[in-house]
């Protein structure tokens, strides 16, 4: 397929479906990576499974681990659409887990967060089977997945003692400060919560949180960049390391597709995320 036709083809796929399954099926992927586990169960529901990707090259010791949580407005999505992202990160030397989780309307807040927390606990306990270090985990998420990852990183209710293994969080175009609820997706996911302030990652940002990198597209009109700007400001004021990077030419979907090999020239999303994950897993908090 001529390289010049890729952007038009993928744009058509993305406009046709919210999950990135079609994109993932066609996009060239990084080599040197194996699918080490497919559909490993971390719970009893059919949606409570995850895939593990690992580098094939030898390592001198256990590798740091990334848990990548995809988005989809808490209503759609499948781990099968994100192999391109997992392989991109695994090719940089990480063991990468991509969990599915239950979605609206089967669950609402906090059900999808409880699933993601259960997935992280499973990864922490089982990472060694795949060459990973369960004590060095970085959470990465896109859109609603960035929200999920942020809540696990910042709100100790969800991971409890396992939060100690989270060395950092990378958010791609995440909603962190979105009250009042004014969109059908957020109303469906959070409208029944008794205390809406407690659903917001920015509420929980405080001293002692793990380091954070917040990446956002300047052209994002789905989740506005002010979400990342506000969270970065609050974390910084609390003395937490919080890096904020805005990519002027990226939109909401472009920030995650920039992880794929044909689109990395648009913005250094992969390089920035991998650099941060490497730093925080080497030095701790």
Separation CA 20–CA 82 (nearest Å): 7
- Is residue 10 scored above 70 in pLDDT? no
Residue numbers of the domain that contains 44: 3-283
- As for how many domains the chain has, the answer is 1
Question: pLDDT of 76-126, one tens digit each?
Answer: 999 999 999 999 999 999 999 999 999 999 999 999 999 999 999 999 999
Q: Comparing C-alpha atoms, which of 119, 155, 112, 115 is closest to residue 137?
A: 119
pTM value is 0.94
| CATH of residue 276 | 3.40.50.1820
pLDDT tens digit string along 60-88?
999 999 999 999 999 999 999 999 999 99
pLDDT tens profile 235-266: 999 999 999 999 999 999 999 999 999 999 99
The beta-carbon contacts of 31-39 under 8 Å, at least 24 apart in sequence, are 31/91, 32/56, 32/57, 32/91, 33/86, 33/87, 33/90, 33/91, 35/83, 36/95, 36/130, 37/130
**Dihedral (Cα; 69, 8, 220, 149), 10-degree rounding:** 0
pLDDT digit string, tens, across residues 208-230: 999 999 999 999 999 999 999 99
């Amino acid at each position: 397929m001529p390289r010049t036709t890729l952007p038009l083809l993928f744009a058509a796929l993305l406009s046709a479906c919210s999950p990135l399954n079609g994109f993932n099926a066609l996009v060239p992927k990084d080599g040197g990576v194996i699918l080490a586990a497919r559909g490993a169960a971390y719970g009893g529901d059919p949606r409570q499974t995850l895939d593990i990707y690992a580098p094939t090259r030898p390592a001198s010791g256990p590798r740091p681990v990334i848990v990548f949580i995809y988005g989809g407005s808490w209503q759609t999505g499948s781990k099968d659409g994100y192999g391109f992202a997992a392989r991109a990160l695994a090719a940089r030397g990480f063991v990468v887990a991509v969990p599915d989780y239950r979605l609206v309307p089967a669950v609402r807040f906090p059900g999808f967060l409880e699933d993601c927390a259960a997935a992280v606990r499973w990864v922490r306990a089982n990472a060694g089977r795949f060459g990973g270090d369960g004590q060095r985990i970085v959470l990465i998420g896109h859109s609603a997945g960035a929200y999920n990852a942020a809540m696990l990183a910042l709100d100790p209710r969800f991971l409890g003692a396992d939060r100690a293994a989270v060395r950092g969080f990378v958010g791609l175009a995440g909603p962190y400060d979105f009250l009042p609820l004014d969109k059908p997706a957020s109303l469906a996911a959070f409208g029944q919560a008794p205390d809406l302030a407690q659903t917001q990652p920015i509420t929980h940002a405080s001293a002692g949180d793990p380091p954070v990198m917040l990446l956002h597209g300047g052209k994002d009109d789905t989740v506005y960049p002010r979400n990342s700007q506000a969270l970065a400001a609050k974390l910084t004021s609390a003395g937490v390391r919080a890096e904020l990077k805005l990519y002027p030419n990226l939109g909401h979907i472009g920030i995650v597709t920039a992880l794929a090999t044909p689109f990395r020239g648009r913005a250094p999303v992969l390089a920035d995320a991998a650099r941060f994950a490497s730093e925080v897993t080497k030095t701790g908090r």
